[in-house]
Structure 1
Amino acid sequence: MTITFSELKKKINKKEIDTVLVSLSDMQGRLTGKRVTGKAFLDYVHKETHFCDYLYTVDMDMYTVPGYKSSSWDTGYGDMTVKPDLKTIKVLPWLEKTAIILGDSYDHEGKLPLQHSTRQILKEAIQKANSMGFQPMIGSELEFFLFNQTYDEIHTNHYKNLKESSWYIEDYMIFQTSKEEPYLRDLRNGLLESGVYVECTKGEAAPGQQEINVVFTDALSMADDHILIKNAAKEIAFQHNKAVSFMAKYKEEVCGCSCHIHNSLFNIKTKKNVFADSKDKMGMSKIFKSYIAGQIEFLSDLSIFLAPNVNSYKRFQEGSFAPTKSAWGIDNRTAGFRLAGHGNSIRIECRVPGSDVNPYLSFAGLILAGLYGIENNLKLEAPISGNLYSNKKLKEVPKTLNQAIDLARKSKLLPKIFPQDVLDHYIHAAEWEQSEYDKSVNDWEHRRYFERT
């Protein structure tokens, strides 16, 4: 459950809680942090603690990547101050006597927020929306693969001969998900008890593929919940001697894993959805149309924030339910942007991100692009109908991380919504990821070249 600091204090004093995970999101959207004793958290850690500032410069392997302005060997890799956000305390029922709290990152003195920290980037996007009278509301749907092996087994086998939890496509299939229910039930109910409003889990469009859906909420809470959902899915799988993967494209022959981002704006005062207009033939307000137009305008340039890894781009295949076109349609799952809902629930679903995305960065990018569209009164083109995969006239989403990096470097749009230091930071992260892949030698190369060259 989500609890107050006072309630946490009582639970610690009653010895119901003895460990507090003081955590934050790194650049990859992973949960990082410390396990703090309940006593220390109450005595002083609830005010602030310190992490090495290299956490926003390391890659997926935790390698100290050179070339960052914010932190390097030249700066000495000092400390950053992390101030726990007391509104984010949750009890985690799947971990014994454990609670979690998320924090915000500041400079060494604890005075200035770190501009390049992922949560701060989203908070500034939300502040921008608030200044315009809007509260961004988001729901993110996460897909993942479930395996009947442990992480250790999979690693020992060099990620070969993986055993998905099903041998057939299980989209909406009740019997197959009944076989997976001991794990899925613990995941749903554990998250629900922790304070994440889970609606459902379901089988998805490939053997072993799952989806978890949660009820939409304000953008910051959704991002916080998103990283907890992914961590919980892994921890609970570990407890069941299983493994899960949130790779965007785990296997060439099957669908990738998406993170569909449903977003809307509510009026701060009335709490009503400003996207709804019953007088419009599509039920869409002018604000909504300009918001979508902004997101479409920015989509290609934003790609490093929506598809951050080399593997992300292997998901964009025709006929795979992953979009290949930068366009919108009415309830059309072949479009990059799908109009969903009606009345007060009307919203736009961005179908571009995979489940490897950092929610703070992707939410921020989409919100800021949409607000740009509103501020500049951008006009929305008519929705595209039919099979967008076969429509050769439409603009394509970037096909590779290299292409996305080039678009971000040359973009005249991104500096209008992000500070230059933030752009430089995340472009550098993408460049490093690409360079590491370019140096690698993989199984495809062995099969193709080992004997025949």
Structure 2
Amino acid sequence: MLQPDPARAAESAPPSRSTEAIRALFSQHGVRDVECIFPDISGYPRGKLMPAERFLAGEELRICQAIPMQAVTGDYSYNPVFPDSDPDVRLLPDYATVALAPWANVPRAVAIHDCLELDGSLCQFAPRSTLKGVLARYAALGLRPVVAPEIEFYLTAPNADPAQPLQAPLVRGGRAEVGQSAFSLNMLNELAPFWNELRDACRTLGIATDTWIHEVGATQYEVNLLHGDAMAVADQAFLFKYAAREIALKHGLNAVFMAKPIAGSAGNSMHLHISVIDTEGNNVFSLADGSESPHLGHFIAGLQTFLPELMLMLAPNVNSYRRYVAGSQAPVNLQWGYDNRTTGLRIPASGPSARRVENRLAGADANPYLAMAASLAAGLEGLQAQLASSEPLAGNGYDSAHSLPRSMEESVQAMQHSAFARTQFGDPFVTGYCAVKALEWASFQREISVWERRFLLPQV
């Protein structure tokens, strides 16, 4: 059984960029301001704009502790877990993330920050803190997760009236795409000015992308990020979504990461490919002879056992649950199989060093820090407790029961009552996160939908 080594928990993070190098970058490009940002619970960038010279001087920046837990509606929960005094937290820059802001119309930089309490401890309400806590438990065991996300999104025409459905934009031939063009290079070449700028932005931001493809939906795309350190890749996914949205707006488009933005069309996923390596760089899912290690089954079992309680971190919004439709290549349960895309957990065909688990549950709307934290925490518990997985499924996963939560409300209840979630992420985070999500659910319940007006108004 894997046991923690306290000495390993204190191992330092990868070396950060020096302040001298940052100063030279700012000087070379005439950087005027720095976007001091952090991800809130939705994975949305929040923070403050700071003059570059004050950033270089190391001036302390603070923000309200409640901001990381702001609801998508802009509201705040008044659950007692949040202090009535609304105290400050410090924003501490991660210098390794400093880069030019490619969406800015004046020279500007961007830097991802951690939220720290005034005593120097990580703020428990901040998603980056949540992932750091999980990664520290891996480090204590001499392990390091390697993650690669596949991020799907739509490019749509402007949508001034939210009551109207999203529409595909006009492309080169003067008509809107009608779909069913998966993996088409012609369709991938459409909207080239946007793609050229986004590619340049990824290079500027240090986002290591792999393949870019056209997906099934009309003007739906998938960009795969290269595998790497979980925190670094989460930062890249966060910046990728920020850059895509900003650059799309410059080109008269919307980059849409909702899990199911268009009725009758494919949903947007964020599949997470996960492996775990030891201190020698060996994949613990493979034995020395290249065969499958028992650790793979234990990791899968952890995901099967605990992800149902953590679905709110993988499917965080009301819309998220519309994606889980049988026959859509979105999962409906946590069956697993070898190279089987009908299951929630897939083992892609690969060599021993690349043996990995593909978690297909997360939508593109998920906060990458929280989706990774949930997946890695569940898998690690399976490793440590040596849990046993189900048998691999060779057939159609949609023939098995729909066992995932069917609504955000159901997932809120599951996480609220999860002893595992509270042990892994702490009572303040779980209570606060569920309180905010319950607030969003209540806001949704107050809306009257088009469906209700269409069918109920004339007939009941």
Tell me the TM-score normalized by structure 1: 0.92
- Which residues of 2 match residues 286-297 of structure 1 at below 5 A? 286-297=294-305
Residue in 2 that maps onto 1:422: 429
Relative to structure 1, the CA distance from residue 410 to residue 94 in structure 2 (aligned partners, 3 Å threshold; closer, same or farther) is closer
Which stretch shifts more, 13-22 or 364-373?
A: 13-22
Residue in 1 that maps onto 2:37: 23
1:264 aligns with 2:275: yes
Deviation of 1:391 after TM superposition, in Å, equals: 2.4
- Which residues of 2 match residues 333-412 of structure 1 at below 5 A? 333-340=341-348, 341-392=350-401, 396-412=403-419
Relative to structure 1, the CA distance from residue 418 to residue 15 in structure 2 (aligned partners, 3 Å threshold; closer, same or farther) is closer
Relative to structure 1, the CA distance from residue 51 to residue 415 in structure 2 (aligned partners, 3 Å threshold; closer, same or farther) is closer
Q: Percent identity?
A: 26
SS in 1 for 2:37: strand
Cα distance in 2 for residues equivalent to 1:325 and 1:426? 24
Residue in 1 that maps onto 2:115: 105
1:90 is aligned, of 80, 95, 99, to 99
Question: What letter matches 2:336 in structure 1?
Answer: W
Alpha-carbon contact 2:299-2:382 (below 8 Å) kept: yes
SS in 2 for 1:61: coil
Alpha-carbon contact 1:3-1:91 (below 8 Å) kept: no
Cα distance in 2 for residues equivalent to 1:303 and 1:66? 23
Cα distance in 2 for residues equivalent to 1:331 and 1:68? 46
Relative to structure 1, the CA distance from residue 19 to residue 444 in structure 2 (aligned partners, 3 Å threshold; closer, same or farther) is same
1:276 aligns with 2:283: no
1:243 is aligned, of 249, 254, 264, to 254
1:187 aligns with 2:217: no
Deviation of 1:398 after TM superposition, in Å, equals: 1.1
1:203 is aligned, of 211, 214, 224, to 214
Cα distance in 1 for residues equivalent to 2:313 and 2:360? 14
SS in 1 for 2:66: helix
1:35 aligns with 2:49: yes
CA offset digits 1:260-307 (Å, max 9, x no partner): 01111111x212222122647xx3212222111101111211111111
CA offset digits 1:13-56 (Å, max 9, x no partner): 345322211110001111112222211211233xx311122213
| Structure 2: runs of 5 or more not aligned | 1-15, 170-175
Deviation of 1:372 after TM superposition, in Å, equals: 0.7
CA offset digits 1:349-389 (Å, max 9, x no partner): 10001000011111111111111111111122221111110
Relative to structure 1, the CA distance from residue 219 to residue 377 in structure 2 (aligned partners, 3 Å threshold; closer, same or farther) is same
Which stretch shifts more, 86-95 or 25-34?
A: 86-95
Alpha-carbon contact 1:3-1:90 (below 8 Å) kept: no
Residue in 1 that maps onto 2:4: none
Alpha-carbon contact 2:69-2:125 (below 8 Å) kept: no
1:64 aligns with 2:76: yes
Alpha-carbon contact 2:210-2:226 (below 8 Å) kept: yes
Alpha-carbon contact 2:165-2:262 (below 8 Å) kept: no
Relative to structure 1, the CA distance from residue 432 to residue 220 in structure 2 (aligned partners, 3 Å threshold; closer, same or farther) is same
| Structure with higher RCO (Cα < 8 A, 6+ apart) | 2
Residue in 1 that maps onto 2:316: 308
Residue in 2 that maps onto 1:323: 331
Cα distance in 2 for residues equivalent to 1:66 and 1:94? 35
Question: What letter matches 2:229 in structure 1?
Answer: D
Question: What letter matches 1:163 in structure 2?
Answer: A
Deviation of 1:411 after TM superposition, in Å, equals: 2.7
1:133 is aligned, of 116, 128, 142, to 142
SS in 2 for 1:21: strand
SS in 2 for 1:32: strand
Residue in 2 that maps onto 1:224: 235
> Structure 1 stretches (4+) deviating beyond 3 angstroms?
156-161
| Structure 1: runs of 5 or more not aligned | none
Alpha-carbon contact 1:23-1:101 (below 8 Å) kept: yes
- Which residues of 2 match residues 112-123 of structure 1 at below 5 A? 112-123=121-132
Deviation of 1:161 after TM superposition, in Å, equals: 5.6
Alpha-carbon contact 1:170-1:203 (below 8 Å) kept: yes
Cα distance in 1 for residues equivalent to 2:370 and 2:422? 15
SS in 1 for 2:448: coil
SS in 2 for 1:213: strand
Relative to structure 1, the CA distance from residue 415 to residue 36 in structure 2 (aligned partners, 3 Å threshold; closer, same or farther) is closer
SS in 1 for 2:410: helix
CA offset digits 1:126-162 (Å, max 9, x no partner): 0000001101111111100111x23xxx124644362
Question: What letter matches 1:16 in structure 2?
Answer: G
Alpha-carbon contact 1:54-1:64 (below 8 Å) kept: yes
CA offset digits 1:376-411 (Å, max 9, x no partner): 11122221111110124xx61111112212222333
Question: What letter matches 1:276 in structure 2?
Answer: S
Residue in 2 that maps onto 1:79: 88
SS in 2 for 1:225: helix
Question: What letter matches 2:62 in structure 1?
Answer: H
Question: What letter matches 2:233 in structure 1?
Answer: M
Relative to structure 1, the CA distance from residue 311 to residue 220 in structure 2 (aligned partners, 3 Å threshold; closer, same or farther) is same
Which stretch shifts more, 339-348 or 161-170?
A: 161-170
Relative to structure 1, the CA distance from residue 34 to residue 159 in structure 2 (aligned partners, 3 Å threshold; closer, same or farther) is farther
Question: What letter matches 2:414 in structure 1?
Answer: L
Aligned length: 437
Alpha-carbon contact 2:116-2:122 (below 8 Å) kept: yes
Alpha-carbon contact 1:246-1:257 (below 8 Å) kept: yes
Relative to structure 1, the CA distance from residue 386 to residue 226 in structure 2 (aligned partners, 3 Å threshold; closer, same or farther) is same
Deviation of 1:233 after TM superposition, in Å, equals: 0.4
Residue in 1 that maps onto 2:10: none
